[in-house]
Amino acid sequence: MKDTTMSPPAPRLLTSDEAPLWDRNTFTPGAWAQTLSMHDVTEIIDALTVAQHRLSGRDLVTDRTVSRDDFPLTSLVPRLEAMAADVADGRGFAVLRGLPVDRLTESQNLLLLRGLAAYLGSIATQSRDGQLVRDVRATGNRLGDASVRGHQTSQRLWFHTDGADAAVLLCRAASATGGLSRLASAGTVHNAMLRHSRPWTAELYRPFHFHMAGGNVPGLPPTFISPVFSLHRGKFSTRYVRHTLLETPKVTGVPLSKEAMASFDLLEELADELSVDMELRPGDLQMVNNHTVLHSRTSYTDPPPPAERRHLMRSWITFPHYCGRRAAAVDEYLRFGWLTDDQQRELAASWSEPEAPASGATA
């Protein structure tokens, strides 16, 4: 899995100018959340009424042109912009509580998410076919099948990052038990790793192959190549999706090295120790920075019928001022969501097979 054509940079402790640095002891419970007032909820319902008229007949899962004008807010605008700023340039996550999801149909909640997202950043794609909203709920499938993603299961998820610059989750229905959201500062985890093992930290600065789970153009490479850790232009960034990294050997035939697996294990162990944990309630809107925050979820069980299963709606967001956050072309493309067919064709010209670990160095 290692690229032996270049040595990784020598890792060093990150500063708070390079990454938000916090752990579970930094915040008082709920310090990251804002709760809407009755006046705020009325303003949102009024905006939703306008949006239903303006956007009637449009496919909100794929239509990129939903704007603030389509979902007109006034007094809430500064708070939503401040929320986005907290996520982009502050601690890296925020929660807005009290959205009236229980008064809305599923299609109205989709419209609500699209309307609020227009105030948080530019919408990004989540699939090769251009989906802008994904349902996060259990389908009965389990991880291990390369076509199954974590948001389709009720299993515990490893700490990871999503695509684009940030992820936005709207909680419609909660689980019966479990499903706790867990967030960890990637910079704090990095520094803790460095104090434990410099070689294992350096390992994550090397290029890795990330499996695209069938989202590649047929006949083109099934992976894209990017480091887990990046420090570029004075800003730290992480890209980490353990289950796709573990799936990569199935499509490349090249196993992961012992060093890579040890690095993944250490990252997971420290993220678990340092995380902030929260319960997402119906009506919560959570926003998480994918460059600076690792996130996870505990396993959960759904309530028995006729109660609705746990259901969140997810969008990905791009921050315009994040241009050049990471060095490589693929990393800039991924800020806007899924790689387009043209981008995959361009990247295929410089794609190379992963290097096989030295004999006896595989996991």
Q: Is the pLDDT of residue 140 over 70?
A: no
The amino acid present at 161, given as its one-letter code, is T
Query: What span, in angstroms and rounded, lies between the C-alpha atoms of 198 and 181?
Result: 29
**What confidence tier does 214 reach under pLDDT thresholds 50, 70, 90?**
confident
What is the predicted pLDDT for the residue at 141? 58
Question: Average pLDDT, whole number, for the chain?
Answer: 92
Each residue of 341-362: pLDDT tens digit? Answer: 999 999 999 999 999 987 666 6
Closest-CA residue to 53 (of 75, 71, 74, 65): 71
Place of tokens 């083109």: 220
Task: Say if strands 311-318 and 122-124 run parallel, antiparallel, or are unpaired.
Answer: antiparallel
Query: What span, in angstroms and rounded, lies between the C-alpha atoms of 132 and 315?
Result: 6
**What confidence tier does 5 reach under pLDDT thresholds 50, 70, 90?**
very low
Task: Give the angle subtended at the CA of 64 by the CAs of 61 and 65, to the nearest 5°.
Answer: 125
Each residue of 91-134: pLDDT tens digit? Answer: 999 999 999 999 999 999 999 999 999 999 999 999 999 999 99
Distances (CA, A) of 198 to 169, 173, 184, 245: 35, 43, 20, 21
What is the predicted pLDDT for the residue at 8? 66
What is the predicted pLDDT for the residue at 3? 41
Q: Quick one: CA torsion of 332, 337, 342, 343, rounded to 10 degrees?
A: 30
Q: Where are the alpha helices (DSSP H) in 178-303?
A: 186-196, 198-203, 242-252, 258-274
Query: What span, in angstroms and rounded, lies between the C-alpha atoms of 18 and 234?
Result: 6
Each residue of 10-45: pLDDT tens digit? Answer: 899 999 999 999 999 999 988 899 999 999 999 999
What pTM was estimated for this model as a whole?
Answer: 0.92
Task: Give percent above pLDDT 70 in the chain.
Answer: 92
Break the chain down into helix, strand, coil percent, rounded to 5: 30, 20, 45
Considering the segment(s) 34-348 as one domain, its CATH architecture is 4-Layer Sandwich (3.60)
Give exposure, 328-356, as e/b (b: 16+ Cβ within 10 Å): bebbebbbbbbbeeebbeebeeeeeebeb
The more confident residue out of 150 and 276 is 276
Place of tokens 């599923």: 106
Are 170 and 285 spatial neighbours (Cβ–Cβ below 8 Å)? yes
Query: What span, in angstroms and rounded, lies between the C-alpha atoms of 263 and 353?
Result: 21
What is the predicted pLDDT for the residue at 177? 84
What is the predicted pLDDT for the residue at 4? 39
Are 99 and 172 spatial neighbours (Cβ–Cβ below 8 Å)? no
Distances (CA, A) of 63 to 111, 124, 134, 306: 11, 11, 13, 32
The amino acid present at 159, given as its one-letter code, is F
What is the predicted pLDDT for the residue at 7? 61
* Paired residues of 298 in beta bridges: none
What is the predicted pLDDT for the residue at 56? 95
Query: What span, in angstroms and rounded, lies between the C-alpha atoms of 314 and 164?
Result: 12
**What confidence tier does 2 reach under pLDDT thresholds 50, 70, 90?**
very low
Residue 163 has a CB neighbour count (10 Å cut-off) of 21
The amino acid present at 55, given as its one-letter code, is L
Query: What span, in angstroms and rounded, lies between the C-alpha atoms of 38 and 34?
Result: 13
